[in-house]
Structure 1
């Protein structure tokens, strides 16, 4: 599977779009705001604020969350500007995602966001220029030594490709208790390779002293088969196995399908950062947010959220015809699960500073 050409969040602004089903991501970015503010403060106070400041949001998608992190960064910058009594720099903001991302919807919403930015921060702030950058962040995206601040939320768990598995991950779409050791090892190695490539690319693009705040859908435990990271995919595997038993899809298709996704632990993130060597770790935390973030019918809303994220991958493997049946069953399984136990997404949050070369 060519992830770069297949993976994209559901576009548009309709009921099934990612824009309408991204409350979990919204909660995560909102809770990360103090970390962003601290990182911006350190960036500005540890170096002379440049006349032109470049910011990149990697994996921006196309809903309101695309501008939420940028707003937090801008507010933190403006607070420091006011405290220091100096003139605002010009801002270049890069919004990046894979080529299949709905950039049209994203940029239709941009004028309203720019007006809101002026209203909240005043005429003395900016100007701010926005550019869309389609492409994989596992490759170079920007000119060398131009970026000052990089943000990414709930994106780096996506791998550049499905790991090359020597063993069949039978009946599973991701790592599970029943997965052969070789499957687990292949996923770990693919994450290490991809995250190291990400860091190397950003190290070439960032100025010395530049800062990154990365929030990755991960886990607290050292065990890669823990429910902390595997449960949402195990429930999807259950739904697909039911589809196979009803002869609505083929067992072979399920056995050949694996999500290009890996939920790292803080220790794994630290290990790759230290091995790659271009960045120092300023902060490394893990936190959680309940699946049950919705006021009404959490199973329905979580199902819509996951569907808006992974449907493009599933359609590529199983076809459009079975999607409604699949996600109806998925909703039933999720409803049963959250009625019996506490279910949570875990985030690994890391702040990095580009080392002096």
Structure 2
């Protein structure tokens, strides 16, 4: 059972400081385990590129501001940048004007492994320069750490915002997952399960409403008039909060954590008993 003090620590946990995808390029890294996210992004790439071209053709800016929110590490973010550059250049050729310069802001939490992205930039530029006769486009890529649940950029500086598989992460643990005594109301689960009381789904829903509203208000200040966003996030098909498609994995994780916690507790108790003998 979680005590009131520990529950308060969980509620006040600074997500910006502790939450991140596994960095580096090892077997357990996000870079090596994000092929599914890449597949989903590719499935809707035509929507992303169509929205981008509409913005560019309507506004024809000389400097195109683009933000990838929740970029994480690995090749996925750079892959979408390559697609964006090539799509805009193709649109420029159609209307026979020079391609713009590209200002690309890669955003994630401060604990994200931005270094892995920067280290891969030379290979990215080489790949982008293949089969080009006119040289590389004016492309400026920068890391932009911070939570997208709030302001990140100056007013009217972005033309296009892209975010893939990020917005389903909440800014914090919903406070109403704990009762007045600080005890968790979703005991035995780390997700919305079939046994969770209705208050659990209501808590997550309320937190998502708060977070997403703040996200939209912030981006409305940063996007220029006529700008666009493409947001890809997890969802569910029907009204049932227990999504059988995703909950299977959460069930496995929940059971694994329960077993792990039980083993740790048993080892702790055994250690104390040995100390008394």
Q: 2:174 aligns with which of 163, 168, 180?
A: 163
Distance 1:93 1:230, change over 3 A: same
Q: 2:46 aligns with which of 30, 34, 37?
A: 34
Of Structure 1 and Structure 2, the greater strand share is in 1
1:248 partnered with 2:259: no
Distance 1:122 1:116, change over 3 A: farther
Partner Cα separation in structure 2 for residue 183 and residue 79 of structure 1: 48
Q: Deviations along 1:182-229, whole A, 9 cap, x unmatched?
A: 111000000010011001100000001101011002211121122134
Q: 2:113 aligns with which of 95, 99, 102?
A: 102
* Contact 1:78–1:125 (8 Å) recurs in 2: no
Q: How many residues align?
A: 248
Which of the pair has more CA radius of gyration?
A: 2
Show the counterpart of 1:335: none
Query: Displacement, 1:115?
Result: 2.2
Distance 1:38 1:170, change over 3 A: same
Query: Match of 1:242, SS?
Result: helix
* Contact 2:158–2:223 (8 Å) recurs in 1: yes
1:209 partnered with 2:226: yes
Listed as ranges, the matches of 1:297-336 within 5 Å are none
Partner Cα separation in structure 2 for residue 132 and residue 237 of structure 1: 34
What are structure 1's unaligned runs of at least 5 residues?
251-357
Q: Deviations along 1:87-140, whole A, 9 cap, x unmatched?
A: 011110000000000011110111211222222565266200011000000011
Partner Cα separation in structure 1 for residue 92 and residue 69 of structure 2: 25
Q: Deviations along 1:49-92, whole A, 9 cap, x unmatched?
A: 11111000011011011212112211211111111111011110
* Contact 2:159–2:224 (8 Å) recurs in 1: yes
Listed as ranges, the matches of 1:108-119 within 5 Å are 108-119=119-130
* Contact 1:69–1:151 (8 Å) recurs in 2: no
Q: TM-score, normalised by structure 1?
A: 0.67
What are structure 2's unaligned runs of at least 5 residues?
1-12, 267-277
Q: 1:232 aligns with which of 249, 262, 274?
A: 249
* Contact 2:59–2:226 (8 Å) recurs in 1: no
Show the counterpart of 1:128: 139
Partner Cα separation in structure 1 for residue 37 and residue 86 of structure 2: 20
Partner Cα separation in structure 2 for residue 121 and residue 208 of structure 1: 33
Partner Cα separation in structure 1 for residue 134 and residue 141 of structure 2: 17
Q: CA RMSD in A?
A: 1.6
1:175 partnered with 2:199: no
Q: TM-score, normalised by structure 2?
A: 0.85
1:143 partnered with 2:160: no
Show the counterpart of 1:310: none
In the TM superposition, structure 1's runs of 4+ consecutive aligned residues that sit over 3 Å from their partners are none
Decide which moves more: 217-226 or 131-140.
Answer: 217-226
